[in-house]
Amino acid sequence: QNAFPYLEVRRPFILGTRNHQWKATIGHRFAELLHTKTGKLTRLYTQNIDGLYEQQCDGIPKEKIVNVHGTIGRASCESCGAEMDFDVFCEKVEHGIKDIYKQDPRAPDESTPITCESCGAATVKPTTVLFGSNLPREFFERVQEDLPKVDLLFIAGTSLVVSPANSVAYSVPKETIRVVVDRNPVGQELGIDYSNNPKKRDFFARGNCDEVFLDLIDELGWTDDLKEELLPEASVELLKTKRGVTK
């Protein structure tokens, strides 16, 4: 297969991920703190392909992260599956893949193949799942391993309409508490209960993910562990407001 169209279109995103052009939010940091503070993070399933967890949340072990739709933050060979070090891959992209957007004057005029160090095929790309491709085998293996023993499930910032990723929401045990963090009551067709039944197991934390998770972080006494220099501007403003800091 010809990897050039994908690599040329994604070049700014690949290099921006390496350069931390986009920063992990308070929502990302909550998952990191949950692990570092309590050790109770069983697994983090993410549908996002931005690589923010792998590249910036160092407190979460890589084996705790399941990228359901792959990630821009890891590269592997489509032919043999061998991984390439992400920094090495980015160097090859920066110096060997042309910039179709004409934003980088240092980019080459023409693209050259990025070959696999194991099999030699020119099919190395980020591990993002392309339309029509199968999800990573890890997803199916981990859900079988993890879900039967989960007692608390956070469902955050997802419409729950994409299958099979949405199966996580209804595959946990019946006694598992499910906390939905979203602006809208998602997943009703999957059995999530938004009624006033006092015996229901589902809790709806309505709102912006950063705001909700910041409130939770504050309740847990972890606010001082959030570092402003590691957060995007919008998250910093929320944090300053929570801390009572004004401009």
Catalytic residues: 69
The per-residue DSSP string of 90-133 comes to HHHHHHHS--TTS--TTS-SS------TTT--S-EEE-PPPTTP
* Encoded amino acid at 137, one letter: R
Sequence letter at residue 214 = L
Q: φ, ψ for residue 155 (rounded to 5)?
A: -120, 110
The length of the chain in residues reads: 247
User: Which residues make Cβ contacts (< 8 Å) with residue 168, sequence separation at least 6?
Assistant: 45, 143, 147, 153, 155
Count CB atoms within 10 A of the CB of residue 157.
20
Q: Which amino acid is at 174?
A: K
